[in-house]
Amino acid sequence: IRHLDGNSHLEAWDVRRTLIRVFGYGGWNVETIALDLVREIESPPGTLKRRNGSTNDRTVWTVVYRAQVRLTVKDAQGREIARYEDAASGDAVNQPSLGDAHDLAMKASLSQALKRCAVNLGDQFGLALYNGGKADPVVVRSLVSPVAGDVAPSPDDAPAVVGGELDKQAPADASAQVSPALLLNAIGEAADAAGVPRSHVAQRWESDHDQSIKDATDVDGLAKVLAELRALVKTGAAS
């Protein structure tokens, strides 16, 4: 973060670094949808007055570009998670080289557009800076990622768990209390991996266990439940 004209800014290279750290080298990409020249101004010698009263002794160039980009992020399996589009302008003022002026203005507009897309991913991508330039988090939690004790969404709306997170969360105690939300996440992971509707997997699981998913809070380990759901998909029983 640096301060320019009293405002806080996030550097474009830092946004790219964080994207790599969070999503991996192949887990995100940026597309340039449009890149347009807005203005090119030539200022011949003697036409610009400086603060000290002198004028430019050679021709300088001011160039402005407008860029529109699309940022796409993916999960560990390469599936698209989200896509954001935004636009921004960038300029290069009083450059002695016309080529450098165009180059700097293009890069500035593309960098600004990328940063505007990335703020949709939260505080670590600069969202908090819009709150008066403060670095304090403004996103406390997301209701899309349920935790134990939360009210579970319907199976069709349950978010999938990325990277086998349920396997890591499986408790050592076989009789551990598990929230319905985690079961729904297991259903989402199994169904998405096989490309079948989540509701079908949920209905089959409820039929086999004679119990509603919403009432299932005591299971024989999350890893076992996840294995059962995956087995249903592999055998085609959930389709």
- pLDDT tens for 84-93 read 999 999 999 9
- Confirm if 104 and 92 have CB atoms less than 8 A apart: yes
Backbone angles phi, psi at 147, to 5 degrees: -125, 170
The model's confidence at residue 122, banded by pLDDT at 50, 70 and 90, is confident
Confidence of residue 163 (pLDDT cuts 50, 70, 90): very low
Rg of the chain, C-alpha, whole Å: 26
**pLDDT score at 50:** 87
Q: Sign of the CA dihedral 134, 136, 137, 140?
A: negative
**Enclosing H/E stretch for 63:** strand 60-74
Residue ranges covered by each domain of the chain: 2-130, 155-234
pLDDT averaged over every residue in the chain: 75
Compute how many other C-beta atoms are within 10 angstroms of the C-beta atom of residue 101. 23
Pairing of strands 60-74, 28-43: antiparallel
Q: Which residue has the higher pLDDT, 20 or 157?
A: 20
Q: What fold does the segment set 2-130 form as a domain?
A: Enolase-like; domain 1 (3.30.390)
* SS3 of residue 211 by DSSP: coil
pLDDT at 215 over 80: no
- CA nearest 124: which of 5, 230, 20, 234? 20
Q: Contact 154/214 with Cβ under 8 angstroms?
A: no
Mean pLDDT is highest, among 24-38, 150-164, 207-221, for: 24-38
Instruction: Pick the closest to residue 201 from 211, 187, 215 (CA basis).
Output: 187
Helices (H), 70-221: 98-118, 165-169, 180-194, 198-209
Which 3 state secondary structure label does DSSP give 231? helix
Report if pTM > 0.85.
no
Residue with tokens 């319907």: 154
- pLDDT score at 235: 62
pLDDT at site 156: 44
Nearest partner of 172 among 223, 227, 209, judged by Cα: 223
